[in-house]
Chains A and B, each alone.
Chain A
């Protein structure tokens, strides 16, 4: 699947396109199919997002996972600071990055 990520313009927070709006949780990502580029243009133009780009991803048993390690780190948070990740209470969360 193709998923869409970017940063919130005002806060910089990493966000994922859900199909109707943006979410902080990668698991809410929708498959944007062929519409990615159009969505990037529209959403950046509306200043909802900055630096938006399309990445490959897959639905797994644990949720949506980007294909490349870079976006998996982007989705979870820095692997060296589990306290700052999307799942600070789960010390094993870092394992799905690698």
Chain B
């Protein structure tokens, strides 16, 4: 069980135990799953409607596979909680959020003020990720 330090959702926090991707396929009643860096997020796509929590694990923040996993789930329409778990660093928080994460459970609690600064850092963004509701700079230029 990890502590969620930052959450950007209005609904009730989900605290169902997250199972591995492998056992998720076998347990038809599980509602929470945990994706490791080597897992294929697309394996979950047939089951999105019964999921209310997906944890994406970052054993080391320098392994960026979880960013793709997150976007893939959001692109497929997953709307439940998407929680980044593990070795999270302040400087990547806003980028995680841009890939669709809306909850953050770092191994070690982050400095609140520095983290808040990081979330608020980028007033504008160059890309549309399509999953964070933000308008890209190019869209503003040609709005």
Given a CB threshold of 8 Å, the question of whether A touches B is answered with no
Chain A contacts to B: CB under 8 angstroms? none
